[in-house]
């Protein structure tokens, strides 16, 4: 497990952060986190590259969790789109 | 805990090169044997669309895997073009696929042998319309018709 503060510190020390949301989805046991991260470091990277980048930066932290979910943006302007359509709202058609 | 050591330029590793590697790297190499790698390589190409997941499509054993299956279902991916592997039924596959893809989580989606991403990426692509384009482009689902209303105006 890893606590939220450590995760946040790890993220902030790894790359320039202009916006960060961390949600502990494990009810406090520190096994499952979802993050929304806006950083200029994502500029020029596609989604897969962004996720690989974050996976690599947080390798030690992710190894201590059961589940890790991320949404990465290079700019604030992209945030609006996730507010209206959260990934978890997937329903069987 | 071995997960932490599992990232290396594995494709370039040969026995001769391995001698010069640090102990952790060697461990990582030993962990995913040539044989296991070849098996995963085959699995990845065993169908136009391959999903490594926890559980099965009818009985997913993890919410992320369930979401992945549902999204593919939503797009009408036909069973004959899709194959899923239950990593919970095979410990070697479970750890091996993470190293193979250099990706720390399950599910993992491959389309025509190419790694697409995990659950977050799949859902993101679903929302943006990229997933549909990808599936059409790879001849996994037919163009237009059935999903007219879900069709984003992709040029």
pLDDT digits (tens, 9 = 90+) for B118-128: 999 999 999 99
Decide if A90 and B71 are in contact by the 8 Å CB cutoff. Answer: yes
3-state secondary structure of B117: strand
Tell me the fold of B32-144: Glutaredoxin (3.40.30)
Q: What is the ipTM of this complex?
A: 0.77
Tokens standing for B47? 């169908």
pLDDT of residue A29: 84
State the smallest CA–CA distance between residue A8 and chain B in angstroms. Answer: 19
State the smallest CA–CA distance between residue B148 and chain A in angstroms. Answer: 14
Is B74's Cβ below 8 Å from some Cβ in A?
Answer: yes
> By CA distance, what is A71's nearest residue in B?
B120
Is B105's Cβ below 8 Å from some Cβ in A?
Answer: yes
Give the span between the Cα atoms of A38 and A49, in whole angstroms.
14
pLDDT of residue A76: 77
- Residue B129, by phi and psi: left (phi above 0), alpha (psi -120 to 50) or beta? left
Decide if A85 and B115 are in contact by the 8 Å CB cutoff. Answer: no
From B9, B155, B134, B21, select the one nearest B75 (Cα to Cα): B134
Contacts B107 to A, Cβ<8 Å:
none
Is B61's Cβ below 8 Å from some Cβ in A?
Answer: no
> By CA distance, what is B130's nearest residue in A?
A47
pLDDT of residue B104: 94
Q: Helices B119-128 and B130-137, interaxial angle, to 10°?
A: 90
Confidence of residue A61 (pLDDT cuts 50, 70, 90): very high
Contacts A–B by Cβ distance under 8 A:
59
From A12, A15, A32, select the one nearest A23 (Cα to Cα): A32
pLDDT digits (tens, 9 = 90+) for B24-75: 444 444 578 888 999 999 999 999 999 999 999 999 999 999 999 999 999 9
Decide if A48 and B67 are in contact by the 8 Å CB cutoff. Answer: no
What does CATH list as the number for A4-77? 3.30.300.90
């Amino acid at each position: 497990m890893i606590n939220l503060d450590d995760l946040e510190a790890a993220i902030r020390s790894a790359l320039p952060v202009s916006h960060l949301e961390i949600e502990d989805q494990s009810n406090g046991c520190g096994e499952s986190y979802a993050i929304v991260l806006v950083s200029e470091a994502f500029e020029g990277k596609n989604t897969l590259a962004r996720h690989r980048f974050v996976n690599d930066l947080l390798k030690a932290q992710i190894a201590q969790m059961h589940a890790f979910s991320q949404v990465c943006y290079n700019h604030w302007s992209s945030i609006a789109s996730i507010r209206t359509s959260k990934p978890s709202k997937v329903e069987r058609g | 805990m071995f997960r932490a050591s599992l990232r290396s330029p594995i494709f370039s590793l040969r026995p001769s090169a391995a001698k010069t590697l640090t102990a952790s790297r060697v461990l990582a190499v030993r962990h995913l044997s040539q044989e296991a790698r070849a098996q995963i390589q085959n699995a990845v190409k065993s169908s136009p669309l391959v999903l490594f997941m926890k559980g099965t499509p009818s009985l997913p054993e993890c919410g992320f895997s369930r979401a992945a299956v549902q999204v593919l279902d939503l797009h009408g991916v036909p069973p004959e073009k899709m194959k899923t592997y239950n990593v919970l039924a095979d410990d070697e596959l479970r750890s091996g696929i993470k190293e193979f893809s250099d990706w720390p989580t399950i599910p993992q989606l491959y389309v025509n042998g190419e790694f697409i991403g995990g659950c977050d990426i799949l859902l993101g692509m679903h929302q943006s319309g990229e997933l549909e384009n990808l599936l059409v482009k790879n001849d996994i689902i037919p163009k237009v018709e059935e999903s007219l209303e879900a069709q984003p105006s992709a040029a």
